[in-house]
Amino acid sequence: MKYLERLLEQYSKTHDIVRDYEIGGIKADAYGYYRKVSEKYVINPKANLWSIQGFEHILFFERDKVTRQDVDEVRRLMEEHMAPVLVCKGNKYPEKDHMYSYLTAAFICSAVPDEDTVNAIEKFRYEKDYLFTIRGHVEGHIILMDVTNGKAYSNKAAKHLKKFYENEYESIRKGI
């Protein structure tokens, strides 16, 4: 689908993109990874006062239709595979200086989603703290882009993505 290619092109400006990614037995059309490091040091980097790291792990799924079962599957994927494997790397807690990780599932579909699916997306919530947030936290984002009518649906944590997804759709429609 043309929309997914456009989206991956935009994300590749800030994220590392891997095509045909599989995690937890689920195949995604692509996986994006972003890491941000902030540090404060005195005179030179060896005199580091503090350091924090932020991450985003995003899975892209291109589907004809997205259902409530897909939303439930994303929750299971975040709980059982994305957080333990991508965030904690098989350990009990994320690495030192980890502040946050956003786990994002982006669905691109060519069928208008039913009301039950839209409600499940809008009510979706996944959060996890590590050592009372001393080792940071994880937040789940889910967004569905309906390329039939150019409308994006998201949970509350991902509402900042809706405008971006809809603008990319409009750019394609206008041939920009």
Tens-digit pLDDT profile for residues 95-139:
999 999 999 999 999 999 999 999 999 999 999 999 988 899 999
- Indicate whether this model's pTM tops 0.85: yes
Cα–Cα separations (whole angstroms), residue 46 to 18, 38, 51: 33, 14, 12
Q: How far apart are CA 61 and CA 30, in angstroms?
A: 7
- Residue type, position 154, single letter: S
* Residue 68 in this model has a pLDDT that exceeds 90: yes
* Residue 33 in this model has a pLDDT that exceeds 80: yes
Q: How far apart are CA 82 and CA 88, in angstroms?
A: 9
Domain boundaries, the chain: 2-174
When the pLDDT of each residue in the chain is averaged and rounded to a whole number, the result is 93
